[in-house]
Structure 1
Amino acid sequence: MINGILFRIRTGIPWRDLPTRFGKWQTCYDRHRRWSADGTWEQIFRTVQADAGTDGRIDWSMVSVDSTVCRAHQHAAGARKQAPQKPGKRTRPLSTAPTRHWAVRAAA
């Protein structure tokens, strides 16, 4: 059962495509969901990690931070930079009223 759950997580296949050697896919799915909800997976992880730590199989001096988890907002990429303003240059149009091209054409 656990091997079936780990196989599905590792490969990313849909639950229904789980090979029959791991048992019924629905049973694997139900157990995975139940264990995720009640904290069984965290308890298993902590136990395995503690055993490995006491046996010296974990080198706690090595720390690796993956930069792919630091993501910018979708609007942060590719923004145009404003040109530096020159003294004495006007940055706004004279009128703040919206231009109505149809009104100008109708009057002409």
Structure 2
Amino acid sequence: MHLTAGQVSDFKGADVLLADLPAETEEIIGDRGYDSNRIRLLLAERTITVCIPP
């Protein structure tokens, strides 16, 4: 868990969460707050399938 202020966009705290993902992670489900090209590219580089609505 990583807490941020209420007005901070979800994707700004995503770096901390993504860095802690186990190496065997294959899929990620996220809400619209995590829909950013940067997050999608980082996960694609790790061959993680993404399910985040646009």
Shorter-normalised TM range: under 0.3
Larger radius of gyration: 1
Instruction: Point out the structure with the larger strand share.
Output: 2
More RCO (CA 8 Å, sep 6+): 2
Higher helix proportion (structure 1 or 2): 1
